[in-house]
Amino acid sequence: MDKKTYRTLDLFAGIGGVRMGFERAGFETIFGNDFDAYCKVTYDLNFKDTPLVVADIAKIKSADLPDFDILLGGFPCQPFSVAGYRRGFLDTGRGDLFFEIIRILRDKKPRAVFLENVKNLSSHDKGRTFNIISEALEDLGYHVTTKVLNSMKYGNVPQNRERVYIVGFKSKKALEAFEFPKPVELTKTVNALLEKEVEEKYYYNKSPLYKVLKESMTSKEVVYQWRRKYVRANKSGVCPTLTANMGMGGHNVPLIKDHKGIRKLTPRECARIQGFPENYKLPKNLPDTKLYKQFGNSVTVTVIERVAKQIKKALDSGNNDVVSRAPAKRAGRVLQPTA
């Protein structure tokens, strides 16, 4: 039997990091959704064939969605992160969005589900939040496995980024055939991903902070962080976790020292550290603050691709029960991308 091209539904899509990883593994994206209109600018620039639908997922009826084989969801992580308030499902409008995933899974019954979130999801509320998630998936007939993967160990990118990955299959045979990817050697350095020529606007040389930064930032081989009142060196030799507040005066702004002085990472450098390919386009009509937020909120593409390849192998191994390769059926109203 020919290997199947599996169709994906890309929810909480952001700028398409999860989509890109799965497409590089051989999947086909047939629908993408996010609530952020700024993400649509970046997403549509790179994925013209299936533009982003900007809408509240709670207002999208399951009947209006196309048929698909696997649901992808990097659902909002702020309710579960250390940096956030850790309110979990009590964070109405963000934490409870997980139940929209459950609703769509219940109604559409895809053969698999892939979810990504911050590492602390597994320990939030003494493990009760994670148990709710696992039990909800299992109640729908999904056989679930999870693992925390660090981008620097599984994606060959110089970033210390730990995320929990949740994979579920309707077929027990597929779950038995699935295994998370093995660690790979880290061969890329931050310095190797830096741009050669950088605009002056990224430098702190004329900033009131420069004197404080200069005293602490002595090496060109180290990535530093401005922690509101002091500078911290990231001694692991890689970039600390990129966050959404990088461009908004947050306390996790990665800083480096180069031949011209002290500066923050550029959006393109953040894209590289997240494993995005060089041909990924950055819109010129968005401010850097939006781009920093988008890449901080995104995923490490190279890690996603490796997990996606393992998912495809598992689905192919249980190909005796796959659906027809006929074009996807669309029920009800076909959703159109928001302009």
Contacts of residue 70, defined as CB under 8 A and 6 or more positions apart, other chains included, come to 6, 7, 8, 9, 22, 27, 110, 111, 112, 113, 114, 311, 315
Q: Which uninterrupted H or E stretch holds 292? A: helix 288-297
In contact, 35 and 76? CB cutoff 8 Å: no
Q: Which uninterrupted H or E stretch holds 34? A: strand 28-34
Q: Angle between the 128-139 and 98-108 helix axes, to the nearest 10 degrees?
A: 10
Place of tokens 């390769």: 325
Give CA angle at 294 (290, 298), nearest 5°: 175
Report d(CA 115, CA 78) in Å as an integer.
15
Instruction: Give the active site residues.
Output: 77
The Cβ-side half-sphere exposure at 269, using a 13 Å CA radius, reads 26
Report d(CA 111, CA 109) in Å as an integer.
7
In contact, 315 and 36? CB cutoff 8 Å: no
Contacts of residue 140, defined as CB under 8 A and 6 or more positions apart, other chains included, come to 102, 105, 106
